[in-house]
């Protein structure tokens, strides 16, 4: 029996945006920008996921994490779910962060594997079982081979899916065969939600039983993803595919040809153009140049300003 009532599982479905971490010029948490971004997500029917990969989580100090969590929960004000990442290489710190986030009003926590030692399947299984036992909030598994250099197999995930405190998966591993197998295995589970971080497959996934999409470009255009999800759910596949093409184009603007550590600063540059936040980033990322920001300002306003719902 899950620790979460099955009647409450519906709130963990839909569009979940992996929020960037907004910084002031001094690299403190920008409280006002947090309010603007969260409000823009919520009014577009998107849940908030702080301190994930897009949120530079492993580069952000514990105090800044707590400052961001407080600001995000306060801004969401119970209108939508707030998820917080607790990923790290120190088990005790992940558990402590989960406890602190619970005190602040976070609804669920998300964790990927530690990314230091090589891990066997047994290591992965025991790590998440122990973490799920120790944290006081529902746990979402996060499979992110691009940064952890580990892949959670479907078999291990399925074993973990029956743990009382593990309620879902965010899978950011690409592969059509893996996606189809995952959908077939979990699309009818009432006690386990399947979220996809492969945003280009959002329409396909939702119309084939996916519970949630987790698009980083949702930071910029949350309304498009909310429309896409809704269209796919009501079987308006032509509209969903149209929106998929638009969001893919916007994503390609900052992702194509760039490392993840280059794409996130460019996404922040686009968000600065929309008046949402600064383009500041934590090391090891590098802030984009003034010249690139000017180029982004010109091109983004020309191409995508009509999708700006933050005005």
CA distance 158 to 211: 16
On whether the pTM is more than 0.95, the answer is yes
Q: For domain 6-239, which architecture applies?
A: Alpha-Beta Barrel (3.20)
172, 138 contact by CB (below 8 A)? no
Cβ neighbours, 10 Å, residue 45: 17
- Give the pLDDT confidence score for residue 311 in this predicted structure: 76
- Show me where the domains of the chain are located: 6-239
pLDDT in tens, 103-155: 999 999 999 999 999 999 999 999 999 999 999 999 999 999 999 999 999 99
- Give the pLDDT confidence score for residue 2 in this predicted structure: 77
Contacts for 165 with CB less than 8 Å, ≥ 6 apart: 2, 3, 132, 133, 135, 138, 139
pLDDT in tens, 89-106: 999 999 999 999 999 999
207, 232 contact by CB (below 8 A)? yes
pLDDT at 6 over 90: no
C-alpha distances (whole Å) from 15 to each of 207, 239, 295 are 14, 17, 30
pLDDT in tens, 172-223: 999 999 999 999 999 999 999 999 999 999 999 999 999 999 999 999 999 9
Mean pLDDT of the chain: 97
226, 45 contact by CB (below 8 A)? yes
The tokens of 95 are what? Answer: 């558990």
């Amino acid at each position: 029996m899950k620790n979460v009532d099955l009647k409450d599982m519906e709130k963990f479905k839909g569009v979940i945006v992996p929020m960037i971490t907004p910084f002031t010029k001094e690299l403190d948490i920008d409280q006002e920008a947090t309010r603007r971004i969260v409000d823009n997500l919520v009014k577009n029917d998107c849940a908030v996921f702080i301190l994930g990969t897009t949120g530079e989580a492993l580069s952000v100090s514990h105090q800044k994490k707590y400052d961001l969590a407080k600001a995000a929960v306060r801004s969401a004000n119970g209108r939508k779910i707030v998820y917080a990442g607790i990923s790290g290489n120190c088990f005790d710190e992940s558990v402590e962060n989960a406890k602190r986030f619970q005190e602040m009003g976070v609804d669920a926590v998300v964790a990927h594997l530690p990314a230091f030692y090589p891990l066997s399947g047994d290591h992965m299984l025991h790590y998440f079982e122990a973490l799920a036992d120790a944290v006081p909030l529902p746990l979402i598994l996060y499979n992110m081979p691009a940064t952890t250099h580990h892949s959670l197999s479907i078999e291990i995930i399925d074993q973990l899916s029956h743990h009382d405190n593990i309620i879902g998966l965010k899978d950011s591993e690409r592969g059509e065969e893996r996606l189809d197998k995952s959908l077939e295995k979990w699309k009818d589970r009432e006690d386990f939600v399947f979220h996809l971080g492969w945003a280009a497959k959002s329409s396909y996934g939702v119309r084939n039983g996916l519970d949630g999409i987790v698009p980083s470009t949702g930071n910029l255009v949350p309304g498009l993803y909310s429309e896409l999800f809704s269209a796919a759910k009501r079987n308006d596949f032509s509209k969903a595919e149209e929106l998929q093409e638009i969001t893919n184009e916007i994503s390609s603007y900052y992702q194509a040809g760039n490392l993840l550590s280059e794409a996130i600063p460019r996404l922040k540059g686009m968000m600065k153009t929309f008046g949402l936040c600064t383009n500041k980033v934590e090391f090891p990322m590098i802030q984009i140049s003034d010249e690139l920001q000017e180029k982004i300002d010109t091109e983004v306003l020309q191409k995508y300003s009509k999708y700006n719902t933050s005005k």
